[in-house]
Amino acid sequence: GSCIALVAGLNARDMSGDHKDEYVHSTFRWGGSEGPGPSRGVPPRGSRALAPPAIACEQYSLKALPLSRTVDIFDIDMYTGDSSNNNVGRYYALCRDHVALQVTTSCFSIWRQNKKTNGFAKVIPAVPSTEGNTRIFFFDDNLEWEGKEDSPGICNLRDVRTGEFVEFYEGRNGFCRETAARHTVIYYSPEYRNVLVKACHVPEIR
């Protein structure tokens, strides 16, 4: 099977215009035998033309942003509008279909405006155990285990089939709790291919 480790960050900058409070997806592709570098290359010196995105925007409901000549950057809205729930599944398909390095940033302002609750935090696709062979790991030291949509937290765990929030507190939707080492808490479920990990650093008291 394959694994997706979602390294998602909250973008503290307020985004303006159409892109405010939307999910921004940046895809970095590394290729070639001579070492890492963008697979579609850099335009000649002095050229300001942008190459077309290497990803089919229509397939994943993406909006390409003309911000870089070497990196594909997209908007995908998973918070507002009628298509937001469907976009969760499309976003998961994008991560699954493209195995090169990808970075996702989530806008901080929408999370803050909604009292920093899970339902407006980093979107993590919840994949049912009956679908595929991908397992998704989410690591964050701000995970909170009340695990409800309106509870404080950083994990917006949403079903890829419906886009609906998946509650993840212990005993709900099959989620179990385990610990590792001294300060690491792990939640996992036989019903979903997701593993949630909170590693806290506790300073030594002398």
pLDDT digits (tens, 9 = 90+) for 191-202: 999 999 998 765
pLDDT band for position 12 (50/70/90)? very low
Pairing of strands 134-139, 192-199: parallel
Please tell me the predicted confidence (pLDDT) of residue 42: 41
Does the pLDDT value for residue 19 go beyond 90?
no
Give the distance from CA 187 to its chain's centroid. 18
Q: Residue 23: CB partners within 8 Å, gap ≥ 6?
A: 75, 76, 77, 78, 79, 91, 104, 105, 106, 107, 123
Dist CA 172 CA 168 (whole Å): 6
Mean pLDDT of the chain: 76
Please tell me the predicted confidence (pLDDT) of residue 181: 87
What's the whole-model pTM score?
0.73
Q: Tokens 């997706």 — which residue?
A: 4
pLDDT band for position 46 (50/70/90)? very low
Does the pLDDT value for residue 173 go beyond 90?
yes
Greater confidence, 14 or 175? Answer: 175
Q: How many residues does the chain have?
A: 206
Does the pLDDT value for residue 174 go beyond 50?
yes
Please give the C-alpha separations between residue 122 and each of 88, 118, 138, in angstroms, as whole numbers: 12, 8, 10
Greater confidence, 179 or 16? Answer: 179
Does the pLDDT value for residue 6 go beyond 60?
no
Give one word for 17, left, alpha or beta, with left for phi > 0 and alpha for psi -120 to 50.
left
Instruction: Name the DSSP letter for residue 23.
Output: E
Would you say 143 and 154 are in contact if contact means Cβ atoms under 8 Å apart?
yes
pLDDT band for position 205 (50/70/90)? low
**Tens digits of residue pLDDT in 121-157:** 999 999 999 988 889 999 998 899 999 999 999 999 9
Q: Which amino acid is at 145?
A: W
Please tell me the predicted confidence (pLDDT) of residue 206: 53
Give the distance from CA 31 to its chain's centroid. 23
Give per-residue burial for 85-112: e unless 16+ CB within 10 Å, then b: ebbbbbbbebbbebeeebebbbbbbbbe
Give the distance from CA 146 to its chain's centroid. 20
Greater confidence, 36 or 116? Answer: 116
